[in-house]
């Protein structure tokens, strides 16, 4: 089915341990069939640019490569943006 390839990509900038990231993933659980979750560990050497940018802000979320939210999940904002992307793909 082609719908799966058009799913928005939600990128989570995280590191271990990150209790806030775990909370955020729980909040997003009901939506998980509607997006692809991609986790970026900002402590890895290849992600040092993200580390410099977000080390005090994780969790940080990008939706399809664009900054969406940080610190905690704003469900309303997330739903609005997800809906917009889904409508564009129809």
In a domain, 78, yes or no: no
Q: Tell me the backbone φ, ψ of residue 34, rounded to 5 degrees.
A: -100, -5
Beta strands in 1-90 (DSSP E): 9-14, 36-41, 60-63, 66-70
For residue 5, what pLDDT is reported?
Answer: 65
For residue 6, what pLDDT is reported?
Answer: 84
For residue 72, what pLDDT is reported?
Answer: 94
The CATH number linked to 39 is: 3.40.30.10
In a domain, 80, yes or no: no
In a domain, 38, yes or no: yes
Mean pLDDT for the chain overall: 94
- In the predicted model, residues of the chain with pLDDT beneath 50 are 1-3
In a domain, 28, yes or no: yes
For residue 1, what pLDDT is reported?
Answer: 45
Domain residues for the domain of 39 are 9-72
For residue 46, what pLDDT is reported?
Answer: 98
In a domain, 77, yes or no: no
CB atoms within 10 A of CB 78: 20
Please count the structural domains in the chain. Answer: 1
């Amino acid at each position: 089915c082609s719908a799966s390839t058009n799913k928005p990509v939600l990128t989570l900038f995280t590191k271990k341990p990150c209790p806030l990231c775990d909370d955020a993933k729980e909040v997003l659980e009901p939506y998980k069939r509607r997006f692809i979750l991609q986790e970026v560990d900002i402590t890895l050497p290849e992600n040092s640019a993200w580390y410099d940018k977000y080390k005090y802000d994780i969790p940080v979320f990008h939706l399809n490569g664009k900054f969406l939210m940080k610190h905690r999940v704003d469900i309303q904002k997330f739903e609005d943006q997800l809906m917009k992307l889904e409508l564009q793909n129809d």
